[in-house]
Amino acid sequence: MTRRLRVAQVVTRFMAGAGAVALRGALALDPHRYEIVFITGEGDRLVREAREAGFEVALMPRLRSDIAPADDRRALADLRACLRGFDVVHTHSSKAGVLGRTAAHRAQVDRIVHTFHGFPFHQFQSRPRRMAYIHIERRVGRYTDVFLAVGPAVAAEAITRGIAPPERIRTIGIGADMAAPPPGAPDRAEARRLLGVPPGMRVVGTVGRLAFQKAPDDFIRALAVLPRDDVFGVWIGDGELRPKAERLATRHGLRGRMSFTGERSDVAALLPGLDVFAMASRYEGLPCAVVEAMTAGLPVVATAVNAVPNVVIAGETGLLVPPGRPELLARAIGYLLDNPAVAARLAAAARGRLGEDLTQAALGAVLAQSYQAPAGEASRPAERELAAS
């Protein structure tokens, strides 16, 4: 019997988009060929779901998303010890990507794979900080066998910035469930009851962490400047900015017209209650929430960042606005509310154009190929030896 490959999935926060994609990918792999272990600094319901699916989940609290030199050094040492004996180390996102790949390299793991769910650098940072992050990504890229990018635009940026060589990067989807809702699926009335929507209101909602990246301040300001009082806002998700966002909503006169649901495990049951899905993010990879909204048949307004325009095609499958412009976000939302026929056309086109490349099966196929070194491929790129320590 062929020995199973031991694969360590390293993710800083086993939650939200990156965590969901990591878990969906693991679920798509043949359990007779792969033994998957998740290593994470923190998690939510995904930890429970992974364990219920039979995966081991190791918590490493020092593996934090923020910069913390003392904890980062200890996390690097802990990871190096933990990763010995694995055949493949697959890291996700920025912090886990840097520490995990460095530790895997020092532990002499045979194959190192990294997924870009987005980048730690963006236009809202100072140039020195942005360039420092790019330099770090280039350095750890020297000892990475395969790069995976969530969305074509993310892959293109990695190549353009010299972070990943073109022959070692592949574009992946998010492993979405594209199936039609089953009989008895939650309907609009039930979803609105669950959301606590008052009668006669139009609902504009979003799904995501209440964090700087997701721009809850812009989402709230967009709702506040809409020239109508029959709009109810919904934010599904939790995060460090929730208290600040709730205060901002009150200051902008949205008391009684906006709900913060907190973290929910029944997002699919809530989406049918929305009239428009709006994403205000400052930067992204390819957000799972947008694809899930499209799958649910919702018209989408989103910011034109990173790989979002790969699925939200302006005027065809949704509307795009620049980040940091809540007045334009409000204008686009208002247009869809005022023109239901256009909203329905965009929603139908979006669901129809979501391709097989976004499915869980497609994600699993790419992972299986990435974890196996093709015949004749060097065990590690020559550049990786330059970074040996």
Taking residues 85-113, report their average pLDDT: 95
Give the range among 54-58, 171-175, 209-213, 259-263 with minimum mean pLDDT.
171-175
**pLDDT for res 285:** 83
pLDDT tens for each residue of 218-272: 999 999 999 988 999 999 999 999 999 999 999 999 988 999 999 888 898 999 9
Q: What percent of the chain has pLDDT over 90?
A: 70
**pLDDT for res 382:** 47
Task: Tell me the three state secondary structure of residue 373.
Answer: coil
Neighbours of 51 (CB within 10 A): 12
Confidence check: pLDDT of 375 > 60: no
**pLDDT for res 187:** 85
Neighbours of 170 (CB within 10 A): 14
Residue 355's closest CA among 286, 268, 306, 305? Answer: 286
Burial 133-142 (b: 16+ CB within 10 A, else e): bbebbebbbb
Q: How confident is the model at residue 210 (pLDDT cuts 50, 70, 90)?
A: very high
Indicate the helix (H) or strand (E) that contains 291: helix 288-295
Q: How confident is the model at residue 201 (pLDDT cuts 50, 70, 90)?
A: very high
Q: How confident is the model at residue 179 (pLDDT cuts 50, 70, 90)?
A: low
Confidence check: pLDDT of 8 > 50: yes
Confidence check: pLDDT of 14 > 80: yes
Helices vs. strands in the chain: H and E counts, helices first = 16, 13
pLDDT tens for each residue of 293-352: 999 999 999 999 988 998 999 999 999 999 999 999 999 999 999 999 999 999 999 988
- Which amino acid, one-letter code, is at 33? R
**pLDDT for res 342:** 97
**pLDDT for res 180:** 53
**Which domains does the chain show, CATH number per domain?**
5-176+358-386 (3.40.50.2000), 188-354 (3.40.50.2000)
Residue 129's closest CA among 94, 164, 79? Answer: 94
**pLDDT for res 258:** 95
Structure tokens at 186: 């939650």
**pLDDT for res 183:** 46
Neighbours of 61 (CB within 10 A): 12
CA distance 146 to 110: 12
The single residue listed with the structure tokens 């290593």 is: 39
Q: What percent of the chain has pLDDT over 70?
A: 93
HEC string for 339-367: CHHHHHHHHHHHHHHCCHHHEHHHHHHHH
Confidence check: pLDDT of 386 > 50: no
Helices (H), 119-176: 127-141, 152-160
Residue 301's closest CA among 292, 313, 285, 284? Answer: 313
| Long-range contacts at 182-190 (CB < 8 A, ≥ 24 apart) | 185/272, 186/268, 186/269, 186/270, 186/272, 187/272, 188/272, 188/273, 190/269, 190/272
pTM value surpassing 0.85: no
Beta strands of 266-383 (E only): which ranges? 276-279, 300-303, 319-321
CA distance 100 to 106: 10
Most confident of the following: 183-197, 211-225, 364-378: 211-225
pLDDT tens for each residue of 36-61: 999 999 888 899 999 999 999 999 99
Structure tokens at 69: 């030199």
- Which amino acid, one-letter code, is at 166? P
